[in-house]
Structure 1
Amino acid sequence: MRTTTFDFTPLFRSSVGFDRMLHALEAANRVESIDNWPPYDIARLGEDDYRITMAVAGFSQDELTITQEQNLLIVAGQKSGDDNVEYLHRGIAGRSFQRRFQLADHVRVENASLVNGLLTIELKREIPEEMKPRRIEITSEATPARIEANTHTAEKIAA
């Protein structure tokens, strides 16, 4: 298998504030082995709504943990080892796993459910009001600049 290495140095020189994204691209480029277990889907349900579905057959709710750190979602499964059964054939994977998902800024977990061996995690991106686009009026030197914002923000300024 042939791998391609990308040099992100020119992007570092010509961009401001994208350091974390570029470092994430570099880290993804360095990944050598890809673990495909457990299988999962990532779906975009709307402009700000996403869903991760993982096939975790054989795992109970008590054996799964979901942790959200700043921009990282970690899903882990740990089987309890109290099996006193001698298997003649074992085809159902029951090994422990840890799957990590990089999340964009302001994405949070809304809900998680386990139904019929499928773990479904619903995510939502919520951009704070102060970070939403706003229009800035261009004025001459004689008049002060005015910034148009939402009515909610304008009420705070007036108070």
Structure 2
Amino acid sequence: MNRFDFTPYRRNTVGFDRLFELLENTGRIAQNENYPPFNIERTGENDYQVTVAVAGFKPDEIEITAQQNLLVVTGSKNADSNDNRDFLHMGIASRNFERRFQLADHIHVTNADMADGLLLISLVREVPEALKPRKIEIGGQTAPTVIEHDDSKKKGSKVA
């Protein structure tokens, strides 16, 4: 089992602990499970689509949960749905699954649809205006911003 050691990088960085944990966890998860297959596609500058192959599942057997920085897709088949059938060959997997996707900051689920055995989940990145880069003028002739305050709260001042 090949495993990359992030220890030298952890010693020289501050505040990147979460990034290293995500990389280590992704490596472990990728080795353990590859069902159901999925695609992640960039459909626009800030738009993404996750496509999960869920052949044999009905929409009411799939649950999608979006939490902060985490998207969880769970499929639960009824145990009695194939009991009265006699398969000669069963090549379509119908086992339960849970697929987790780590989402970057400000990524939100906008839509989910199911067609032709594929679950389509649309995502969008919505960065708040306060966090977007802005241009700062050098040597601008604008007046400095004054923050208003109440002088009556100073020590020894009397309110009339």
Instruction: Give the structure-1-normalised TM-score.
Output: 0.77
> Partner of 1:70 in structure 2?
68
> Partner of 2:134 in structure 1?
134
Report how far residue 20 of structure 1 moved.
1.6
> Partner of 1:54 in structure 2?
52
3-state DSSP class of the match of 2:45? coil
> Partner of 1:26 in structure 2?
24
Alignment of 1:1-159 (within 5 A): 3=2, 5-31=3-29, 33-83=31-81, 84-137=84-137, 144=144
Residues in 2 aligned to 1:81 and 1:6: alpha-carbon distance in whole angstroms: 40
Contact 1:38 1:55 in 2 (8 A): yes
> Partner of 1:157 in structure 2?
none
Contact 1:6 1:29 in 2 (8 A): no
Answer 1 or 2: higher relative contact order, Cα 8 Å, separation at least 6. 2
How much is the aligned-residue C-alpha RMSD, in angstroms? 2.4
In our comparison, the structure showing a higher alpha carbon Rg is: 2
The CA deviation string for residues 7-51 of structure 1, in whole angstroms up to 9 with x for no partner, is 323433443433321221132344473322111111011111100
> Partner of 2:152 in structure 1?
none
The CA deviation string for residues 54-77 of structure 1, in whole angstroms up to 9 with x for no partner, is 111110000000001111100010
Instruction: Give the structure-2-normalised TM-score.
Output: 0.77
Letter in 1 for 2:6: F
Of the structure 1 ranges 75-84 and 14-23, higher mean CA displacement relative to structure 2 is found in: 14-23
Residues in 1 aligned to 2:92 and 2:16: alpha-carbon distance in whole angstroms: 43
> Partner of 2:153 in structure 1?
none
Cα distance change of structure 1 residues 30 and 99 upon mapping to structure 2, 3 Å threshold: closer
Give aligned-pair identity as a percent. Answer: 54
How many residues were matched structurally?
A: 141
- Structure 1: runs of 5+ lacking an equivalent: 146-159
Residues in 2 aligned to 1:74 and 1:50: alpha-carbon distance in whole angstroms: 16
3-state DSSP class of the match of 2:77? coil
3-state DSSP class of the match of 1:135? coil
Residues in 2 aligned to 1:59 and 1:37: alpha-carbon distance in whole angstroms: 13
Contact 1:40 1:54 in 2 (8 A): yes
